[in-house]
Structure 1
């Protein structure tokens, strides 16, 4: 069914976190109810239906009643994260430019990603990130297309230096099929400049696969992430090949469970940089961090409603504490995001996190040092419910901050005596403290970790905390906001009646969006003549028009009427000599003249000044 043919009605938005699956059910008049269930990672469709049913019950309806009246259901889950962390993805084969066979092992030297400071300082004990592809399934192929450079070079960007060796492609694919790979990825060095070699290799691979009667999809990096930095690009390609299709299968099960109850459209999910797409979106790896995105989208809406344009978000859930920024109404975007110890060529909402949540395990080691997290009980909560170790929730129950008879609205009963006994045995006695003093001490350490993250997030970017409002949400946010807000120096503190489901609320506010990126090397020194600026404008304009054509074609395949599509434009730019590029949204999408280039430069400098003080401009 085409999107524009679906009758308007209810909107469902769900955030399936590690502990809870939260639902926001929006009725046609704009009001909404909240539903919750414990997340069932082994059977997400069951916790989906239970959470929807809980929200529906407040309207005197069932989940079937709601689904038959729903125009859009948005589901932000944790499936891809679980696949990556547990190492249960597909058996991947990879074709690369000859000479780059070890790219997945070397990883650009980023072995420290996701490590704590203590682990980084003990590098001899550190291990490489678990690979997403067996090194025996990475095969080099002779080819080379010239890439761009800041320096004068003999070869022009896009020029074929070494033709594709088609025979090597055939033999490589045969070898991979013998190794029983389930997906084949292709990543040639400069395919983001000209994808002809990748596309030709894909054509050859599909022909060989068909000849062998196999069913193995082939994915090109130019189709997944046509951007520079091959280390990041190959990780994006591997995420798509290794985890995306398995995640899509899980999301299809949720979609089918909704459709059995009368839902007539495709299930949607959130992109890692904001916006919603259907679960049939071709680059599904872009949804890898769909959960926390809703919170920042919701914070952006709160900024519009309240007029408080500068907000620092504090999302405290069961497994982590995430801090993000909305500055002058804009959400920060990272161009090269780190995720599960991998760096991707994927724009992602800028979030800083620590592995401390309400489900974080608390322990005292043999040296009487206390540790909080990163291990988490998830939906099993703690000793007070179904987990064998002491957690922050146990301490909240023991100290009376959480009502053991009203957890999950009274659906789950917690055991305060077990929590108290666990706190005394595992923390108070080893430290020689009174049980309640021990509990307060744990919470002091817990809150200090979070306060430090809030301060670092603001001050490392040169912001004055007093100009920001701290927005507290997440399943455990209101319970702990008294502790982590004190001493941060923020101007205001805010929470909401539906704070526990705020990320789901943000998902309900998301736009249906696709984002397209393409790498160019365009230098704009102050000494450029009007004629040189004109040529730069033509290069940028040509790239935008190419991305528009791709967008119209893909969205038309998803049932979107091209006349209903609107475009917003932006650039990644940096001062020459800097390492990091900055996302610059633009109010215009055509650059034809030297004056347009000046407008583009001015827009970048305005964004830069919002991120850093004006004195930091080059």
Structure 2
């Protein structure tokens, strides 16, 4: 693709929407409060601000690259479409039975996450493919049509299709998709052999259900965004950041929205890797703290660590296995509810707690003056003198120190017999320890010694807390790069056009089939190349 001179990067976060425009390599940025009901409104607002700063018209933009937390939030908050699952007879409860592993071995009251779809939304049909991809029992089209009629009668908006061993032989899933297309042309369809063609049925089924669950929501949003931008005279192509750290077209994003689950944080990791390469740093701890969450990622040899499975909505903090597994290529990071808007309170043990609940952008922390009465981390930072009340978010938001002091005193100080400054210090120390603990756990899980790492801090709140975090972790060197406040959006503009294709195939070494492997690699290359070139 030819190099473009004017590019726009947009990151929708839980509190702020960051917009960065690069004109011939010179950046112009803006931060606007996220508009939850219609996220595209914040994008248009931010776009006009940066275009004014760059003295250009929106129609002159050559390319837009976008990342968003909408997919993640829809899964966490269960705000997706009314979705059905069609699966193999006898496997209706796979997404509820999970793997039967106990991530907290001695907890007798283990709290497992509820499946995205309750049992009455899961349907089965006969037909079976074996572990080698051979058809054992043919699927009956008449039975499929009967199930589809039930789905039509119940008014489902989206359908996920996941059959046993379909990653080896997708014929049955494709037949069901054809029937759905004929009888329910307006219903969104996701099949597991396309969304996640990998072995392990629980992860595969869960991933295709998640894709189907958010597909109508994301398709609607992306369609509205395209229309709004066209109305503003912007006719350039729009690309989406995916969880693996690359860029895909808006159509691919609409078809496979589950790939966008970690798109915003992935942009931050790409930004940190770019900074690491610029300064020749081989061991970097990326620390991204925004308004709602903090993200920590290990970057070695200027490359973020990646994973094949990512968990959403963990019921136990830091506990692997307590969330919904999504089997997609993803940059491996730990994410906790610790941002500028994370709310503080005093628990029954008279201890200060911060997060994971966030004030977001509506109403925001008390200092925003938008009706928030509970203190957030931003309130503590303001009272401690870390923020200029007249120059927050580039001067676009005026902060109110008196409101912060009042909220900190009322919620924290009065209960613990502290003044506002002491309460602010307590809140800041608790949130810093929460993040340090997350970083320690992540480092231990990966066998790394953080004292050998350099921290790169970015995001609206990270530079304010990075120094104390380095003290707690024994990190000797901290780097806060230019444009840190909008780091993820800048990362979008540094990301490559890429797509990672996956397949599962297994065989004994004694039966190694070179031709089969060669054919598989050719198929993978064709699929990945097709995504990037569309």
Q: Provide the TM-score with structure 2 as the length reference.
A: 0.92
Task: Give the aligned partner of residue 602 of structure 1.
Answer: none
- Output the CA distance in 1 between the equivalents of 2:66 and 2:520: 33
What is the match of residue 245 of structure 1? 216
Partner of residue 520, structure 2: 543
In structure 2, the partner of 1:99 is 90
Q: Once the 2 structures are TM-superposed, how far is the Cα of residue 435 of structure 1 from its aligned partner?
A: 3.0
Is 1:73 the counterpart of 2:84 in the alignment?
no
Give 1:177 shift: 1.1
Pair 366,487 (structure 1): closer, same or farther in 2 beyond 3 Å: closer
Cα deviation code 1:298-325 (max 9, x no counterpart): 1111122111121110111111111001
Whether 1:509 and 2:494 are equivalent positions in the alignment is yes
Q: CA deviation at 1:423?
A: 1.3
Structure 2 CA distance for partners of 1:479 and 1:203, relative to 1, 3 Å: same
1:40 maps to 2:35: yes
Query: What residue in structure 1 maps to residue 366 of structure 2?
Result: 383
One of 26, 47, 63 as aligned partner of 2:22: 26
Partner of 2:50: 55
2:150 aligned to which of 172, 175, 179:
175
Cα distance, 1:468 vs structure 2: 1.4
Does structure 2 retain, via aligned residues, the 8 Å contact 1:97–1:142?
yes
Cα deviation for residue 265 of structure 1 reads 2.5
Determine which of 241, 246, 262 is the counterpart of 1:270: 241
- Count of equivalent residues: 520
Are the equivalent residues in 2 in contact too, given 1:95–1:141 (CA < 8 A)?
A: yes
For 1:151-166, list aligned pairs within 5 A: 157-166=132-141
Structure 1 counterpart of 2:319: none
Alpha-carbon distance between aligned partners in 1 of 2:220 and 2:14, rounded to the nearest angstrom = 19
Q: What per-residue deviation string (whole Å, max 9, x for no partner) do you get for residues 167-198 of structure 1?
A: 32121111111111122221110000111111
Identify if the C-alpha distance between structure 1 residues 231 and 381 changes in structure 2 by more than 3 Å, giving closer, same or farther.
same
Match of 2:251, SS state, is coil
For the residue of structure 1 that corresponds to 2:410, the secondary structure is: helix
Aligned-residue offset at 1:97: 0.6
The separation in 1 between residues aligned to 2:67 and 2:450, in whole angstroms, is 31
Query: In the superposition, relative to structure 1, how do residues 399 and 135 fare at CA in structure 2: closer, same or farther (>3 Å)?
Result: same
1:470 aligns with 2:455: yes
Contact 2:7 2:21 in 1 (8 A): yes
Larger radius of gyration: 1
Residue 435 (1) aligns with residue 415 (2): no
Structure 1 residues 299 and 523: alpha-carbon distance in aligned structure 2, compared to 1, 3 A threshold: farther
By relative contact order (CA 8 Å, sep 6+), the higher-ranking structure is 2
Secondary structure, counterpart of 1:55 in structure 2? helix
Aligned to 2:299: 326
Matched residue, 1:572: none
3-state SS, counterpart of residue 297 of structure 1: helix
Counterpart position of 1:426: 411
8 Å CA contact 1:381–1:393 kept in 2: the answer is no
Whole-angstrom CA distance in 2 between matches of 1:84 and 1:51: 26
Offset from partner CA, 1:110-134 (integer Å, 9 cap, x none): 796xxxx9xx9766373x4344324
Q: CA deviation at 1:554?
A: 4.9
The superposition leaves residues 9-57 of structure 1 with CA deviations (integer Å, 9 ceiling, x where unpaired) of 30101111111111221112x1212211111111212210221222223
Secondary structure of 1:433's counterpart equals coil
The runs of 4+ residues in structure 1 deviating greater than 6 Å are none
Deviations 1:406-440 (A, max 9, x none): 22222222221121122122212211233322321
CA distance in 2: counterparts of 1:463 and 1:105, whole angstroms: 34
Distance in structure 2 (CA, Å) of the matches to 1:94 and 1:259? 36
Tell me if the contact between 1:36 and 1:54 (Cα under 8 Å) persists in the aligned partners: no
Match of 1:133 among 108, 117, 141: 117
Deviation by residue 1:532-574 (Cα, 9 ceiling, x = unmatched): 6xx3443322211112233455555x2xxxxxxxxxxxxxxxx
Partner of 2:251: 280
Secondary structure of residue in 1 paired with 2:116: coil
- Which residue in the other structure is 2:278 paired with? 305
Give yes or no for contact 1:94–1:137 (8 Å, CA) kept in 2. yes
Aligned to 1:579: none
Deviates more, 1:75-84 or 1:371-380: 75-84
> Which deviates more, 321-330 or 377-386?
377-386
Q: Displacement of 1:267 after TM fit?
A: 1.6
Q: Does 1:521 align with 2:506?
A: yes
Mapped partners of 1:478, 1:339: distance in 2: 26
Retained in 2: the 8 A contact 1:273–1:333? yes
Asked if structure 2 preserves the Cα contact closer than 8 Å seen for 1:252 and 1:279, the reply is no
What is the deviation of 1:254?
2.0
Q: Partner of 1:194 in structure 2?
A: 169
Length-normalised TM-score, structure 1: 0.80
The 1:403/1:554 distance shift into structure 2, 3 A limit, reads closer
1:327: how far off? 0.8
CA contact (8 A) 2:123 2:147 kept: yes
Tell me, in whole angstroms, the C-alpha distance in 1 between the residues paired with 2:277 and 2:84.
47
1:137 and 1:179 in contact (8 A); partners too? no
1:316 aligns with 2:314: no
Q: Is the 8 A contact 1:15 1:291 kept in 2?
A: yes
- The question of whether the paired residues in 1 share the 8 Å contact of 2:242 and 2:262 is answered with yes
- Secondary structure, counterpart of 1:414 in structure 2: coil
What 5-or-longer segments of structure 2 have no aligned partner? 314-322
Task: Give the superposed CA RMSD.
Answer: 2.2
